[in-house]
Amino acid sequence: MPRTWPEDWDTRRNGLGCPKCAEGRPGEDLWGVRFFAGRWADAYLERRPPQPGTAVVTFRGSRHVADPCDFTDEELTGYWSDVRTAAKAIERAYRPCQLNYATFGNAVPHVHTHITPRYLDDPAPGRPLPGWVFANAPVLEPDQLAEQLAQLRRHLPLRGT
């Protein structure tokens, strides 16, 4: 059977050339703008959200981790706690009927989780969203992006200084 995955997949999973490790903790990237910087993870609102409030949470521990299986207990607890904080802000800001969480790592094998809100009028009740929803995602206008980021940040828990 011919190999279909990249020849360097194992080394990428091990962190060689990992773009998520290399980028540090930017306030924004090509796909989104950060609304939450936690102890263990950063959460970015997507600029081109398939559903309002779609976000990506990226692990920002002190090392490369490709899969949640490889987390230490402390990393595991910390990461998912920060995912929860981001998800609660999304729930409060957008009032979805359900949140979908996806931790694929197929393109970039560094732990990150896509959070996709679901709404009572969306096109696939009870099922995953179809691909055309992602393909047709609109790009947010700058004022829409700014307003939604402000709304999300207002719904984050207050933290001590």
- Map residues 59-98 to x or -, x wherever contact with Zn ion holds by CB under 5 A: -----x----------------------------------
- Map residues 15-44 to x or -, x wherever contact with Zn ion holds by CB under 5 A: ---x-xx-----------------------
Q: Please tell me whether residue 111 binds Zn ion under the rule CB under 5 A.
A: no
Using N-to-C axis directions, what is the helix angle for 142-154 and 73-94, rounded to 10°? 120
Question: How many Å apart are CA 113 and CA 26, to the nearest integer?
Answer: 17
Beta bridge partners of 100: 116
Locate 75 and state its tokens: 């990393």
59 or 94: whose CB is closer to Zn ion?
Answer: 59
22 or 124: whose CB is closer to Zn ion?
Answer: 22
- Burial code (b: 16+ CB inside 10 Å, e: under 16) for 79-90 equals bbebbebbbebb
Using the contact rule CB under 5 A, the part of the chain among 14-22, 71-79, 140-148, 153-161 near Zn ion is 14-22
Question: How many Å apart are CA 111 and CA 107, to the nearest integer?
Answer: 11
Binding site residues, Zn ion, CB under 5 A:
18, 20-21, 64, 110
